[in-house]
Structure formats: structure tokens, C-alpha cells
Amino acid sequence: MSFKVVVDYDLCESNAICMQIAPDVFEVRDDDFLYLLTDTPEEDQRAKVEESVQRCPKQAIAIADDSEE
Amino acid sequence: MKSIAVVGASLAGLRAAETLRAEGFDGVLHLVGDEVHRPYDRPPLSKQVLSGDWDVERVWLSADEKFDALNLTTHLGDAAVSFDAAALAVTLASGTVLDVDGVVITTGARTRTIGGPMPGVYTLRTLDDAQAIRAAFEKQPSRVVVIGAGFIGAEVAASARGLGLDVTMLEMAEAPFERSLGADMGAVLADVHRDHGVDLRLGVGCEAILGDEHVTGIRLTDGSEIETELVVVGIGVIPNVEWLDGSGLTIDNGVVCDTTSLAAPGVVAAGDVAQWHNGHFDETMRVEHWDNAITQAAHAAKRLLHGASVGPYEPVPWFWSDQYDRKIQLAGRTTDFDAFQIVDGDIESRKFAAIYGRNGVIVAVLGFNRPRHVMRYRGLIDMKTSWADALAAEF
């Protein structure tokens, strides 16, 4: 089982909070841009990604609803 | 627990309500707020809202359907006016009394100001404040005077400069952010503002606001005067605790909580209004940061539902401030730091990360456009990494 993570790069300001919470999913690199290491993480990452969604200062991260796929 | 009142409807209050629901609380959940607006996000107010980049619609913290799904009994525009902690009874301005089984206090803080109300003199805390200042900016004032070079002042100055307005900013300390960053790093920030054309005056404050019908200028503590028709005062906030007079709670620079966020049986507090002892830094603190409002509210909500087993609340506080094209982030506490080192980049380019140490341990990290480093070192702070190991770390 996996789920889908979406980042709105127009909103993202690379605060890197998500990287600290879920380093297996989010990475801010030397160019100061955020990269998704996977956009379909395994289920065991869900709690961390949900916390990242909540704590993103720009509300730039979302978990896509399965029903939309 | 059958009913809970969350008193304070901003970021911490909303996150507390969300956490209570997420943790399975399905009873009556009241949300009380002094503003008529449903919860909104404050950081954009001094940036995107003032600059005009964002429509107001973008500041809401929660989509309608998500907010509705929390099934809250809202009391917006109906401030809490008194509280009986022993009876767990909250009285609202309308006279409504909420008799509940648990209370989350998230009433936040309000701005300090200078003198009485005066047209042309603003503070910035609320959405209404931001819209009023934005409207004043649009009248193309000859000069914007910003009093105080903390978060709000510095961001207002940056937003005003971005619109091409002339700005004078006063700061009583010898550098902006001196208390949180230290004098040397504050001086770097001072240069950033000067390079962007701000007339920055340090070591001087506002003695008096001048004018009768409308502000015409200010008199400084050095006796000089500046003509202006627009003043924004950013000299900090006062926790909203007056409604707790006689409540039985201990008040001392906010609502005093134990290490787990509990203020009294059945009562927790979080966000700008909460004071507690953070064991990680062995420091009693009240933190006015966005991220703390979220994490402390979640902790407090769990404490209320699950008891002391949730453990102490010992975060590494973190804030960011966007000024011009600089993203300034600080994680940890710089109080009484005794060691300092630039660990990446250089001050000249204003892209750098620096760490602060105390008693042989890393306690803070500062970044200018270095978010990745700030978060990596924040992890080291969280683990109480030794100064030597922090210096040796490579990211």
C-alpha cells in the first residue's frame, strides 16, 4: 500500500520542516529547492507525512485523496 | 470527558481542536474566539497581505469542508470574559456560560502600543489590522515610520520598501533581533535593511506620537522629530490573560503550566499565552512562534485527553522570518550562549548557517537562506549533541 503526496511548488518556500519530520520523503537540497524522494510513499510514512502537512508553514503539502486517482 | 471548550480561535486553538478530534474525542467541542473571523494564518499578514500579493481569501487556515467536519460549536466574536477553573465554567461576553469537562486555553496575545488611539497609527496582529495598513499603504504615504525592529516591524519595513515607500525604522536595542540572534548577527540583519533603503535608527525609541486629529509625526527619545502620516508600532505583545483574573489559575507572564502543558486539573494551555519550563533547555519560556502554537496545542490536547503519560513538552523552538529575499530561520535558544561558529557559507553573501553553543552543547542554529542546514542542526540540538560533535558534523 502506498499513498500520494503532492507539493504545491508555487507555495513552497523551502522551510525544510517536512524534511526534518519525514526525511525519507522530503529533501531540501543545496539549491534550496524541495525535492520529493518519492511521491508515493509506503503506508508506514503516512503519520510523518500528515505531520508535515500540518506543520508546513506555507500549507504547501497535501495528501491526495485516493478517490481522485 | 463529554465536553471541552477551546478558548482562543487562532492557530493553536484550531490545532488543539483538530488534535482532540483526531485522538478520538467525539463529545461537544466548543471553539471560542474574540474575532468574528474563523481561524486564519497570521504570518502572511505582514508579508503577502501587506504587499498585496495575496487576496485575503488565502489566509484561512482550514478549508470550509475540513473546518465543518470538526463539528465545532463555534462562539466567534464572543470573547471569553471570565473563568472558574475549579468548576470548569467559561463565561462569554454575551453572558453564555460553558460548563465543560475540559478547557484548552489558547487566547494568544495582543499588541502593545504607544499612547492612545490615533488615526494613522497602527499595530499589526489581526487580519483587520493588516487590511487597514494595506489601505494606508495604497494612499502612498510620504513616509512609513516603523517603531520596533522585531519580527513584525522588520517584515512591515520590508513589505513597505517592496512597494517603493520610504521607510524609517526605529529600534531601542543596538541591533534588530538582538535579543534572539545576538548583537553580531543582529548587525548583519541591520545591514540587510539599510541595503534595501531603510532609514534604520538604532538605540533610539519613540518618545511621543504627535498630532491631534491624525498623526503628523513622532518625537524620538533623542529629542528629534520625524514627520509622517503613517506609523506602525511593532513593540511586542502582551498575553491575553485578563479574562483569567480570579479563575484560580497561576498567571505570570502568561498562563503558568506544568512541564506537560497542564495549568490545573482539566485545564491545559498552548501557544503565545502559555508559559512553561522547557526541560530541554532548563529554561522557563513563553514562545510566540507559529510552529510552537501547532506543536504545543497538539501536546496540550493529548495531555487533556490522555493524562500525564504523554510526558513533558520539550521542543526545540523554531521560527522563520522572510525579509526581502532573505529567509531567516532560528532553531533553539541563544540565551547566554558562550560559543558561536559560522558552519556554512559566509556573512558577506548573506547566505550562511551559524551555530550557538552553551556549556559544551549546541543550543541554537541560525540560517540566512540556509533552510536545509537549519533543519539538520535542529536535529543535533534535539539530541543535545556536544559542541565538538556539532562542529565536526557535515551536511
Tens of pLDDT along B125-166?
999 999 999 999 999 999 999 999 998 999 999 999 999 999
Q: What angle do CA B16, B268, A15 make, to 5 degrees?
A: 45
User: Given this model, what pLDDT does residue B63 score?
Assistant: 80
Looking at the structure, tell me whether residues B105 and B11 fall in a common domain.
Answer: yes
Query: Within a 13 Å sphere around the CA of B211, how many CA atoms are in the beta-carbon half?
Result: 20
ipTM of the complex: 0.83
Least CB-CB distance to B378: which of A20, A29, A30? A20
User: Given this model, what pLDDT does residue A68 score?
Assistant: 45
Test A55 with B291 for CB contact under 8 angstroms: yes
Query: Within a 13 Å sphere around the CA of A29, how many CA atoms are in the beta-carbon half?
Result: 7
Whether B249 maps to a domain, the answer reads yes
Is the entire prediction scored with pTM above 0.90? Answer: yes
User: Given this model, what pLDDT does residue A66 score?
Assistant: 59
Looking at the structure, tell me whether residues B304 and B339 fall in a common domain.
Answer: no
Give CA–CA dist B218/B299, Å, rounded.
44
Tens of pLDDT along B183-217?
999 999 999 999 999 999 999 999 999 999 999 99
Domain that holds residue A18: 5-68
Sort strands B283-285 and B274-278 into parallel, antiparallel or unpaired.
antiparallel
Which of 10-39 (A) contact B at CB < 8 A?
13-17, 19-20, 28-30, 32
- Return the residue of A nearest to B322 by Cα: A13
Test B290 with A59 for CB contact under 8 angstroms: no
Give CA–CA dist B136/B229, Å, rounded.
9
Domain that holds residue B104: 3-110+237-310
User: Given this model, what pLDDT does residue B131 score?
Assistant: 96
Sign of the CA dihedral with B28 first, then B93, B291, and B129 last: positive
Looking at the structure, tell me whether residues B212 and B132 fall in a common domain.
Answer: yes
Whether B319 maps to a domain, the answer reads no
Q: Domain count of chain A?
A: 1
Looking at the structure, tell me whether residues B179 and B262 fall in a common domain.
Answer: no
Domain termination residue (choose one: B233, B265, B300): B233
Q: What angle do CA B348, B354, B356 make, to 5 degrees?
A: 140
Average pLDDT for chain B: 96
Q: Which long-range contacts (CB under 8 A, 24 or more apart) does B375-384 make?
A: B375/A16, B375/A17, B375/A19, B375/A20, B375/A28, B375/B331, B377/B331, B377/B343, B377/B353, B378/A20, B378/B316, B378/B318, B378/B331, B378/B332, B379/A20, B381/B316, B381/B331, B381/B332, B382/B280, B382/B316, B384/B280
Whether B301 maps to a domain, the answer reads yes
What pLDDT band is residue B176 in, cutting at 50, 70 and 90?
A: very high
Domain termination residue (choose one: B310, B343, B361): B310
Which of 292-331 (B) contact A at CB < 8 A?
294-295, 318, 320, 322, 327, 329
For the domain that residue A61 is a member of, what is the CATH number?
A: 3.30.70.20
Least CB-CB distance to A15: which of B18, B61, B320? B320
Q: Which residues of B200-221 are buried (b: 16+ CB within 10 A; e: fewer)?
A: bbbeebbeebbbeeebebbebe
Give CA–CA dist B121/B214, Å, rounded.
8
Looking at the structure, tell me whether residues B184 and B88 fall in a common domain.
Answer: no
Domain termination residue (choose one: B285, B310, B335): B310
Whether B316 maps to a domain, the answer reads no
Does residue B89 surpass a pLDDT of 90? yes
Does residue A38 surpass a pLDDT of 60? yes
Q: Domain count of chain B?
A: 3
Looking at the structure, tell me whether residues B210 and B117 fall in a common domain.
Answer: yes
Amino acid at B207: E
Pairs of CB atoms within 8 A across A/B? 42
For the domain that residue B346 is a member of, what is the CATH number?
A: 3.30.390.30
Least CB-CB distance to B375: which of A13, A19, A57? A19
Looking at the structure, tell me whether residues B77 and B149 fall in a common domain.
Answer: no
Tens of pLDDT along B114-125?
999 999 999 999
